[in-house]
């Protein structure tokens, strides 16, 4: 079955990008209600928070939605003696938002098993994963519960691995995309294939529907993706700039003023390569040469990024955005969605 709408049970082949730390119930529900597949990123969410998020989404929409999780890669660090050293390197940022140096926690992220148990109880329409191929046990349990599985690839080889692993949909994520580069077979720096080179090759290589992601913000990108054989598109930045998203006013403003060649790939904020604006925090951390491994760096910067967001201090936030950011000009999710659908309908297959 290669009709994405049938596979996912949605009216239109438009997927919302799942924003780790920036997802909102309001935006997820808006995309789902419009006939696409809304998505909610669960990075850092424990079981209780996942269950409460699912309840909020069920109250907001009757339409299908997806949950997104990060698969462990095996190189994640646990809290240890180095925590304080790396925390001290970020002390000026804590001072800037008025918080104390964070003490070492028991853990940086909740266990995958805890997240999955809550996801099975929530039974979303789809489970999307990044940073790897889900185990046969995860795929089988999802399918047993009627949950479709969506994998994310940054290379053709990764797409093949996901297809062989039994996923129902492959998202081909080009180097233009916002946020983290979710490569898992080779280093992210060695997996920077552009969306419109990647998509047709992935379409030719796998047996499941392929969703194009990265650099798609309006009807023109959608039409191009469909012409290249994509069964649908996943859009992040254009929706992130809308009033329904959880992005701060400073973040939305940065999306609209950052030129395509001004977004950068950096490990400064999380310890993993991600695309966003090079604001003051990114520049200073890169210049320091002191970046903790993942997920320590992500947890440590999160202690100042969260209050910075509350204070609307864009220079101290993670301003994730893709290279199509200047095209993200619409104020509401409905306006973005209508434009994307127009692009899809404009191309005959």
- How far is CA 229 from its chain centroid? 23
**Does position 233 have pLDDT exceeding 80, yes or no?**
yes
**Does position 260 have pLDDT exceeding 60, yes or no?**
yes
Residues 6 or more apart whose Cβ sits within 8 Å of residue 58: none
The mean pLDDT of the chain is 97
**Does position 1 have pLDDT exceeding 50, yes or no?**
no
Q: With DSSP H G I counted as helix, E B as strand and the rest as coil, what are the percentages for the chain, rounded to 5?
A: 45, 15, 40
**Does position 343 have pLDDT exceeding 60, yes or no?**
yes
Fold classification of 4-74+109-255+324-345 is: TIM Barrel (3.20.20)
**Does position 329 have pLDDT exceeding 80, yes or no?**
yes
Domain coordinates in residue numbering, the chain: 4-74+109-255+324-345
| Residue 349: predicted pLDDT | 66
Q: Give per-residue pLDDT as tens, 274-289.
A: 999 999 999 999 999 9
With a pLDDT cut of 90, the percent of the chain lying above it is: 97
* Parallel/antiparallel/unpaired status of strands 232-235 and 179-180: unpaired
How many whole angstroms separate alpha carbon 234 and alpha carbon 250? 24
Q: Give per-residue pLDDT as tens, 156-179.
A: 999 999 999 999 999 999 999 999
- N-term to C-term CA, the chain: 16
Could you write out the DSSP letters of every residue in 83-97? Answer: HHHHHHHTHHHHHHH
Q: In this structure, are residues 192 and 284 in contact, taking their beta carbons and an 8 Å threshold?
A: no
Q: At 137, phi and psi to the nearest 5?
A: -65, -40
Count the alpha carbons within 13 Å of 181 in the hemisphere toward its beta carbon: 27
How many whole angstroms separate alpha carbon 50 and alpha carbon 256? 31
Q: From residue 196, give the alpha-carbon distance in Å to each of 153, 177, 179, 204, 251.
A: 14, 12, 18, 13, 27
User: Tokens in use for 317?
Assistant: 């936030």
- Give one word for 263, left, alpha or beta, with left for phi > 0 and alpha for psi -120 to 50: beta
């Amino acid at each position: 079955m290669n009709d994405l709408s049938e596979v996912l049970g949605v009216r239109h082949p438009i997927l919302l990008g799942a924003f780790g730390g920036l997802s909102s119930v309001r935006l997820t529900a808006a995309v789902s209600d419009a006939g696409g597949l809304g998505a909610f990123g669960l990075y850092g969410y424990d079981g209780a928070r996942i269950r409460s998020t699912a309840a909020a989404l069920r109250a907001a929409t009757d339409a299908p939605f997806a949950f997104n999780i990060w698969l462990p890669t095996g190189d994640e660090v646990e809290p240890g003696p180095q925590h304080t050293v790396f925390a001290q390197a970020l002390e000026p940022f804590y001072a800037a938002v008025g918080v104390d140096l964070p003490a070492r926690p028991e853990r940086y992220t909740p266990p995958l098993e805890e997240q999955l148990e809550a996801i099975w109880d929530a039974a979303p329409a789809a489970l999307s994963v990044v940073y790897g191929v889900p185990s046969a046990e995860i795929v089988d349990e999802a399918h047993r519960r009627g949950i479709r599985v969506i994998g994310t690839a940054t290379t053709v080889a990764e797409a093949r691995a996901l297809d062989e692993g039994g996923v129902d949909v492959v998202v081909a994520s080009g180097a233009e995309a916002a946020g983290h580069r979710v490569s898992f077979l080779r280093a992210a720096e060695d997996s920077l294939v552009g969306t419109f080179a990647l998509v047709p090759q992935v379409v030719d290589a796998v047996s499941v529907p392929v969703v194009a992601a990265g650099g798609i913000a309006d009807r023109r990108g959608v039409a191009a993706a469909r012409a290249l054989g994509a069964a649908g598109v996943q859009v992040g930045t254009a929706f992130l700039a809308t009033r329904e998203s959880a992005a701060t006013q400073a973040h939305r403003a940065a999306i609209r003023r950052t030129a395509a060649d001004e977004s950068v790939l950096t490990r400064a904020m999380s310890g993993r390569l991600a695309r966003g604006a090079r604001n003051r925090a990114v520049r200073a951390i890169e210049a320091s040469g002191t970046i903790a491994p993942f997920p320590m760096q992500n947890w440590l910067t999160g202690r100042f990024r969260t209050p910075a967001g509350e204070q609307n201090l864009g220079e101290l936030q993670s301003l994730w955005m893709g290279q199509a950011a200047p095209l993200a000009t619409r104020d509401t999710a409905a306006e973005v969605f209508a434009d994307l659908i127009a692009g899809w309908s404009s191309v005959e297959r």
